[in-house]
Amino acid sequence: MHNHPIKIKGARQNNLKGLDLEIPLNQITVVTGVSGSGKSSLAFDTLYAEGQRRYVETFSPYARQFMERMDRPQVDAIEGIPPAIAIDRKDPVRTSRSTVGTMTEITDYVKLLYARLGQLYCKKCGKRVVPETPEHVWQKLKKLPAGSEVIVTFPYPYPNAGVSVEQVCMELGSMGFTRIYHNGRILSLEEWQPRKERTIHVVADRLRMGRPDHLRIVDSVEQGFRFGGGKIDVWVGDKKRLSFSRGLECARCNITYHTPLPNLFSFNSPIGACETCRGFGRNIDIDQDLIIPDTSLSLEQGAIKPWGDGQKLRMEFGDLMDFCRKEKISTDIPFRQLTKTQKKKIIDGTSSYYGIRGFFQWLETKTYKMHVRVFLSRYRSYTICHDCNGTRFKEEPLLYRLGKYTIGQVYAMNVQETGDFFRALKVPPKDEASRLVLEEVNNRLRYLKDVGLGYLTLDRQSRTLSGGEVQRVALASALGSSLVSTLYVLDEPSIGLHPRDSHR
């Protein structure tokens, strides 16, 4: 570990007056001073802003535009600054979306790992989707037997109503392309008789394999990608067609995928959360076993519990009796002896009758009344969301895998298993940011195990934990964040602490 200090030269942020200073690493440095003397301007607006900026720089340009980015601080130079990782130390609010993973912030880091290192598998054919570079294409083509004829083409939209054939020919001609590939033949633009094709294949290059043609192929492919919107085809011999795509696209199934953002892997974000359960993993629905607890009762005897029997004179009970008379449904035999269709009509309703479901839907609109909420809670229960199977995620994030596992599978494993998995995970060499993030995950998992919580799963709901478990989770996440090589900037960290605890 290097021990050079952080050097700041000429800091002029806010009210700072060209400050020069050095801050030693691997130590706690305290900045004190009277109010308004520029403590925060130095610590946050200069030091933290620069560290954060450099951390964000390690992401792809596309991902960067969605990340919080602080303004470049007013300073002549800052040297030797480690990446600063910002974690809001908000109170761990125990909402129903809060899990062991979110409480320990493990999910904040795991989502970064999936966005950076996750491997996409096509939702249709299940094959790996790899963005193809010209170099990839070359690696494939160089395996062809010497002497094979190879034609590189790029797709170009077929002239539509607004654009004439002449215009397309002129456009292509002005870019230096004069030939197209059609039905196994190369045609000049003059020879070309447009028919019903939806796209045309414009020839970017034609060559025979064999000579050292690495550069030429890479060039032609690069050019094809540029004019073909990131797509090319390579035709080998008479029949063989190889499709390549520069974006995240399964060329086989013609499905395009978005570049993954970190929040795609967060069930607390609308980008990643299952739309049906909004990231809760479960849905609340009316529970038939609670509504009709005793199926040996007849409808007259009050089989539908929320509607009571004839004595309570509920309007819904009267409506039910009227409906049964019209539909010729017996009201004096046990509910369980009714036919499937009859039960379904009573539960789901018909076009002219609201049924149990319609009744509860109407109640849903009245939940501002306390007694309605109490009433509802007696007849509803949670069920695993059938769309995401309780993983809380949309389909797309679950197409990505780290090693063998999707993010949903990782969260369903217990701490012990998750720890084994992440410890074995390989980060590409030189990917310093991923290594740091992985270390954060591993630290927290190790501490969770050390405090005896190896049996918990990361997707375990916080509010189902015992008091003792909650305390130990909190302890593990505090210990886990003591990472080396990261710049921590804390503002008055002892605020809100009991004097008795401040020494810890």
| Spatial CA neighbour of 99 closest among 434, 442, 477, 401 | 477
Size of the site for Zn ion (CB under 5 A): 12
| Rounded Cα–Cα distance for residues 100 and 87 (Å) | 16
Q: Tokens at residue 1, please?
A: 């570990």
Residue type, 109: Y
Q: Where are the alpha helices (DSSP H) in 268-427?
A: 288-291, 315-327, 340-348, 355-364, 370-379, 407-412, 415-424
Question: Contact letters (x/-) for Zn ion, 103-142, by CB under 5 A?
Answer: -------------------x-xx-----------------
**CB of residue 253 vs Zn ion: minimum separation in angstroms?**
3
Question: Please, which residue, 277 or 412, has the CB nearer to Zn ion?
Answer: 277
**CB of residue 61 vs Zn ion: minimum separation in angstroms?**
26
User: What secondary structure letter does DSSP report for 487?
Assistant: B
The burial class, CB within 10 Å (0-12 / 13-18 / 19+), for 109 is: buried
Torsion region of 210: left, alpha or beta (phi above 0 gives left; psi -120 to 50 gives alpha): left
Question: Please, which residue, 102 or 298, has the CB nearer to Zn ion?
Answer: 102
Question: Contact letters (x/-) for Zn ion, 266-305, by CB under 5 A?
Answer: --------x-xx----------------------------
The owner of tokens 């992985």 is: 438
**CB of residue 252 vs Zn ion: minimum separation in angstroms?**
5
**CB of residue 153 vs Zn ion: minimum separation in angstroms?**
21
**CB of residue 125 vs Zn ion: minimum separation in angstroms?**
3
Question: Contact letters (x/-) for Zn ion, 36-75, by CB under 5 A?
Answer: ----------------------------------------
Span 423-452, contacts to Zn ion by CB under 5 A:
none
Question: Please, which residue, 125 or 497, has the CB nearer to Zn ion?
Answer: 125
**CB of residue 357 vs Zn ion: minimum separation in angstroms?**
20
| Spatial CA neighbour of 299 closest among 309, 291, 290 | 309
Question: Please, which residue, 44 or 121, has the CB nearer to Zn ion?
Answer: 121
Question: Please, which residue, 278 or 446, has the CB nearer to Zn ion?
Answer: 278
With H, G, I as helix, E, B as strand and everything else as coil, classify residue 35: coil
**CB of residue 271 vs Zn ion: minimum separation in angstroms?**
14
Question: Please, which residue, 274 or 448, has the CB nearer to Zn ion?
Answer: 274
Which residue pairs from 291-296 have beta carbons closer than 8 angstroms and sit at least 24 positions apart in sequence? Answer: 291/356, 291/379, 292/335, 295/334, 295/335, 295/336, 296/334, 296/335, 296/336
**DSSP3 helix / strand / coil % (the chain, rounded to 5):** 35, 15, 45
| Strand bridging mode 149-157 / 231-236 | antiparallel
| Rounded Cα–Cα distance for residues 109 and 113 (Å) | 6
Kindly state whether residue 407 participates in binding Zn ion, applying the rule CB under 5 A.
no
Question: Please, which residue, 253 or 470, has the CB nearer to Zn ion?
Answer: 253
Length, in residues, of the chain: 504
Q: Which phi and psi angles does 183 have, rounded to 5°?
A: 50, 45
Question: Contact letters (x/-) for Zn ion, 222-261, by CB under 5 A?
Answer: ----------------------------x-xx--------
**CB of residue 213 vs Zn ion: minimum separation in angstroms?**
30
Span 333-392, contacts to Zn ion by CB under 5 A:
385, 387-388
**CB of residue 281 vs Zn ion: minimum separation in angstroms?**
6
The burial class, CB within 10 Å (0-12 / 13-18 / 19+), for 420 is: exposed
Q: Where are the alpha helices (DSSP H) in 240-369?
A: 288-291, 315-327, 340-348, 355-364
**CB of residue 407 vs Zn ion: minimum separation in angstroms?**
14
| Spatial CA neighbour of 275 closest among 122, 385, 381 | 385
Question: Please, which residue, 73 or 260, has the CB nearer to Zn ion?
Answer: 260
Question: Please, which residue, 11 or 122, has the CB nearer to Zn ion?
Answer: 122
**CB of residue 251 vs Zn ion: minimum separation in angstroms?**
8
With H, G, I as helix, E, B as strand and everything else as coil, classify residue 245: strand
Question: Please, which residue, 242 or 253, has the CB nearer to Zn ion?
Answer: 253
With H, G, I as helix, E, B as strand and everything else as coil, classify residue 240: strand
Question: Please, which residue, 250 or 291, has the CB nearer to Zn ion?
Answer: 250
**CB of residue 259 vs Zn ion: minimum separation in angstroms?**
17
Cα dihedral sign for 319, 322, 328, 330? positive
Question: Please, which residue, 150 or 277, has the CB nearer to Zn ion?
Answer: 277
Q: Which residues bind Zn ion (CB under 5 A)?
A: 122, 124-125, 250, 252-253, 274, 276-277, 385, 387-388
